[in-house]
Amino acid sequence: MASAAPVLEPVPLGRIVSCDGGMIEVSGLNAPIGTLCRARVAAGEHAPAAEVVGFRGGRSLMMLLGDTVRLQPGTLVRAEGHPGMVMVGEEFLGRAVDGTGSPIDGGPPVRAGQPWPLGGKRESALERASVEETFDCGVRTINALMTLGVGQRVGVMAGSGVGKSVLLDMMVSGADCDVAVIGLIGERAREVSDFVGRHMQGAKKMKTAIVAVPADHAANLRLRGAQFACALAEYFRAQGLKVMLVLDSLTRVAHAAREIALSLGEPGAARGYPPSALATITKLVERAGNAASTGGSITGLYTVLADGDDQADPVVDTARAILDGHIVLSREIAQRGLYPAIDVPGSLSRVMEHVAAPAHRRQARALRALIAALESNRDFLLMGAYRAGTDPQLDRAMALQDRIQGFLMQETHELASLPASVDALAALMGDG
């Protein structure tokens, strides 16, 4: 077979004329938005990479994917790769990479050869098939009381330190899926290392791909990491597979999008978030779902950090409006030592009515009512101000209180399948 003819066309170059923080201006290089570029440095030094994010006055605006060390005025810059495209494939299974697809697990470079749009392929709304099949996440409270569906997009919402990452860890371990794509965006580097150590071993390793960009990396690299994780999930869905996509966290992605938008001069709107930053959340979430043409699916699990435990935070509010359900974690419940600290009355799965059996839904509604009765009257009960017999539902909730608490609690290493969770719910609600 004859080898490909060498490319003899001249390589376009530009020069750095301005650098302000992570934003640089380059003259003489008219590259499309989304193009990756690299600065030319002395032999043996690492060449800094940048991404074209805009243009102004005939100059390309680029954001560095790393530090500004060793950059100087007049440094030559060249474009590389294909604008807006990334390489995906089965080669990423069992690997941990950064937002550019470069390995961080100490292994060899990933040689994937399937191009895919970094921003996804926009499809007709009718291409999104309905959610009709239950999704087993391995957590008893969620399986029984807010049953998820294959192709659903659900958010885990809480303040800092309440157990979002631990709950997500349990769901990743217990999920029933063909492929798991995990995006660890803007989190602590220690968490990334621990997560890779726990999940990239055994039989599940070759079903898992991890894209990790810690908090100390550039804003556009964090955003690119989230988009790359979605692109990987879309590729596997196109092969007809049942994919679980995890993004931890959606709030850090919004923070990265905010940094980029403010650097480009976009004014802040809702509590400092420019409109484009909140729109980024919608674009990412809408990439998950079921595909009618291939039969594949992406079940999306997104953590959402409520800054200051404020459930009216713009990111939380935007995510809740676009997601198909939300699991709220309560700091008050966590302070009682009850884990996972799920606020059952405040959590909801919008597809449970379509995927759960009638008897299951009836028992779930009954238990949710008992939990709500206990929580709303907790102060009266602690003060001894309640007289037995006044409220039959509260009387029943008090009689079952210990069993309800045991049902809601689950160790991090314990897995509860969907059938086992439904059976446990039936056994609990079968009494009186």
Three-class SS of the chain: CCCCCCCCCCCCEEEEEEEECCEEEEECCCCCCCCEEEECCCCCCCCCEEEEEEEECCEEEEEECCCCCCCCCCCEEEEECCCCEEEECHHHCCCEECCCCCECCCCCCCCCCEEEECCCCCCCHHHEECCCCEECCCCHHHHHHCCEECCCEEEEEECCCCCHHHHHHHHHHHCCCCEEEEEEECCCHHHHHHHHHHHCCHHHHHHEEEEEECCCCCHHHHHHHHHHHHHHHHHHHHCCCEEEEEEECHHHHHHHHHHHHHHCCCCCCECCECHHHHHHHHHHHCCCEEECCCCCEEEEEEEEECHHHCCCCHHHHHHHHHCCEEEEECHHHHHCCCCCCECCCCCEECCHHHHCCHHHHHHHHHHHHHHHHHHHCHHHHHHCCCCCCCCHHHHHHHHCHHHHHHHHCCCCCCCCCHHHHHHHHHHHHCCC
The pLDDT score that the predictor gives to residue 432 is 43
Q: In whole angstroms, what is the distance from residue 293 CA to residue 285 CA?
A: 20
The pLDDT score that the predictor gives to residue 422 is 97
pLDDT digits (tens, 9 = 90+) for 230-247: 999 999 999 999 999 999
Across 38-42, 71-75, 279-283, least confident range:
38-42
* Position 361 confidence tier, pLDDT thresholds 50, 70, 90: very high
Stretch 86-108: mean pLDDT, rounded?
Answer: 93
The pLDDT score that the predictor gives to residue 144 is 97
pLDDT digits (tens, 9 = 90+) for 115-130: 999 999 888 888 889 9
Place of tokens 């008219």: 30
256 class by beta-carbon count within 10 Å (0-12 exposed, 13-18 middle, 19+ buried) = buried
The pLDDT score that the predictor gives to residue 2 is 45
Buried b or exposed e, range 295-332, using 16+ CB within 10 angstroms: ebbbbbbbbbbbeeeeeebbbbebbbebbbbbbbbbbe
Share of the chain above pLDDT 70, in %: 96
Q: Check residues 52 and 269 and name the one with the higher pLDDT.
A: 52
Nearest to 142 by CA among 337, 368, 403: 368
The pLDDT score that the predictor gives to residue 368 is 96
* Position 44 confidence tier, pLDDT thresholds 50, 70, 90: low
Counted residue by residue, the chain has a size of 432
The pLDDT score that the predictor gives to residue 1 is 42
Domains (range + CATH), the chain: 13-79 (2.40.30.20), 85-355 (3.40.50.12240), 360-430 (1.20.1270.330)
Angle between helices 418-429 and 401-408 (to 10 degrees): 170
Q: CA-based Rg of the chain, rounded to a whole angstrom?
A: 24
pLDDT digits (tens, 9 = 90+) for 158-197: 888 888 888 988 999 999 999 999 999 998 888 888 888 8
What's the mean pLDDT when you consider all of the chain? 89
